[in-house]
Structure 1
C-alpha cells in the first residue's frame, strides 16, 4: 500500500481538538483494514521463490533499471544508492508489505509539518518507521531557503522529503540479500543496454547529454578517457547520472563542471594594455 494522507491539522492555539463523524468513521475503517490485512497475510503467506523470480524479472526491465539508483550532491561530494523507485518495486515483489507517508501534524505558525514514514511486513509483523519535521522551506543556491506558502508547494516538499524516509523504511524490513541481488541485477541490465551494441549506446549517451547542454568533451573529462574507450560500466554510470539530472536530484553543472577559461586563453598569451603584473 502506497499512501500519502493528512490525518490532523493543527488547531488554533487554545482551541479544543474535535473529531467529526467523518473522522471517526475513517478511524474505524482504518482499524478494520489493518486487521483484515493481518488475516489475509496469515492465510496467504508469501512464496519466497516466487518473490525472487518476480524480482529478477522486474530488474531485467530497462525502465526500472534506469530509475533504480539516485545521485545527489552533499558537502562537496556525490551520494548515490538504490532509489525509492526500486524500493517500492521490491516491496511489491516481496508481498504482504504496506508502506506510506503520513502528515501527522501541520503547524502553520512555525511553518513546518510533522511527518511519519513507515514500512510494515504484515506477515512477519516487522515494522520500521521514522517521525521527522519538514520545514516549509525550499533551498535555493542563489537566495538560500525560500518560504513555501502555496498548499501544493508544501505538499510536494513534504512528499519529496518523505520519499527518502520511505525508501529507508522499506529497505529496513526487506532481507538484505534480496535487495543486494536486485541492485546487482539492475546494474547488469544497465550494462547490457537492452541488446544494443556498445558503440550505439555511447552515441545515444552523447546525443542525450548534448540535448541538455553537456558536450562530449565535458563527459570525457569526467570519465577520464575518450568516448572511444568508454566501457559498459561508463555508459551505465552515465545513464544513472542522466536520470538523476532529469529528476532534479543533481544538476548538469554539478556532474560536469564547465572548463574554466584562463586570462591567457582569453588574450591568446598577449599582454592586456594597462594591466599590471
Structure 2
C-alpha cells in the first residue's frame, strides 16, 4: 500500500515539474524519422553567376586536348548473331566529372541500397538553373572486382573496389545522359585531339605503344590481327584505337584475351576449304587420298559397279562351263569407297588409320585441313580433335637420327 502511494506521489511530482518546465522554457521541435531515399523537390533556383553554354563548349575543347584517351574507353564485344566482333566506346568517368564541373550550377547525388549479393546505386543529377533532374539506377555485383591482391584483407579490399567501381559507373551514366550533347562533343574532341597529337609524333607514339603492349605480355601479332595492319603501317587513328583498347584492359572493361585473341589455330588453305565445303552428308571419302566424292555420283558409280559385277559373274559362270574364265571381274561392292564417318568414334578410327598410313607430312597436314567439315558433321569434340592433331604433328615431324 505504501509503495503504491509513493509511486503515485512521484508521478504527480514529475508531471508538475514537466508542466512548469514547459511553461517557462522554449518549445522544442518534434523530430520526424527521415527516409533513406527521400524525394527532394528542387526546382529552378536563382544563381549569382549564370551558365554560358558557349564558354562551356570552349573549355571542354581546351581540356579535351590535354585529357586525350583519359576521357574515353573502348572494348570489344562478340556479336553472336553475325559471328563478328563489335566495339563499344564512350565517355569515361573522368570526362563525366570534368563535364559536371565545367557545366556548373548543378549537383550529383548518390544513394545506395544493399540487396545482399549486389548494390542498387541511385545517381541523381540536378541542374539548379533550369530545375531539371534525372535519376538513374545502376546495379553493381559485390563480386565485380578481381583486384585487391592477397592476404587477410583481400576480400574487404575487393568489396570496397567493387563499390567504388559501381559508384563511378552510376555517376558517369547519369551525367552523360543528362548532358548528352555536351558529353558527345567532349568525347569527339578527346578522340580527335589524341589522333592529332599522335600525328605530330607518329614514330614516337608507335614505339611507346608497342613497348606498352609487350609490357602487358601481349604479342604484337595479336594486336596486328585486330587492327588489320602490320605495326610499321599503323597510322595515327590506328595507334589511337590501340591506346583506347589497352586502356579498356587496364580499367577492367575487358581482358587481354577478349581484346586481342590469341592466334594459336593455323589458317586454313582457302582453296582446300572451298573444296571441302562442297561435301554433303552421305558423301564418300577416298581412304588413300581423303578426297570426297559426291553422294549422287558415288551412288551412280556403285550401281554401275554392281551391274558390271553381275555381268562379270555371269560371264565367269559361262567360262567355267566351257573351261577357263577369259574375262576380268569388275570391282565388287567391297572395293567401293567407304562412307564418310557419321559419328565421333567412326571419325577417330578412320583418322587414326590414314594418319598411320600417310607417307608425307605435308599430305597429312593438307588432309587434316580438308576434313574439317567432315569432323564438324560427325560431331567430333575439341578434345578428341586435339588428340588427333597432336598425333598428326608427331607423325609429320621429321625424325631425328
State TM-score, norm by structure 1.
0.70
Question: Matches of residues 1-277 of structure 1 in structure 2 within 5 Å?
Answer: 39=45, 42-61=47-66, 64-74=67-77, 77=85, 78-103=87-112, 105-107=113-115, 110-138=116-144, 150-174=155-179, 176=181, 178-193=182-197, 196-261=200-265, 271=395
User: Is this contact kept in 1: 2:44–2:130, CA < 8 A?
Assistant: no
Report what 1:19 is aligned to.
Answer: none
How much does 1:231 deviate? 1.1
Tell me the CA shift for residue 206 of structure 1.
0.6
Change (3 A) 1:51 1:253: same
Per residue, is there more helix in 1 or in 2? Answer: 2
Q: Any conservation in 2 of the 1:55–1:182 contact (CA below 8 Å)?
A: yes
What per-residue deviation string (whole Å, max 9, x for no partner) do you get for residues 79-120 of structure 1?
2212121121111111112113222x335xx34433211111
Ranked by relative contact order (alpha carbons within 8 Å, sequence separation 6 or more), the top structure is: 1
How many residue pairs are counted as aligned between the two chains?
230
Give the whole-Å Cα distance in 1 for the aligned partners of 2:247 and 2:257.
15
Equivalence for 1:17: none
Asked if structure 2 preserves the Cα contact closer than 8 Å seen for 1:98 and 1:119, the reply is yes
Aligned Cα root-mean-square deviation (Å): 3.5
Tell me the distance in 1 between the aligned counterparts of 2:117 and 2:257: 31
* Corresponding position of 2:82: none
Q: 1:237 to 1:72 in 2, by over 3 A?
A: closer
Aligned to 2:376: none
Q: Specify whether residues 57 and 139 from structure 1 end up closer, same or farther in structure 2 by C-alpha distance, changes over 3 A only.
A: closer
Is the radius of gyration larger for structure 1 or structure 2?
Answer: 2
Retained in 1: the 8 A contact 2:145–2:161?
no
Secondary structure of the residue that 1:118 maps to in structure 2? strand
Q: Cα 1:261–1:244, aligned 2, differ >3 Å: closer, same or farther?
A: same
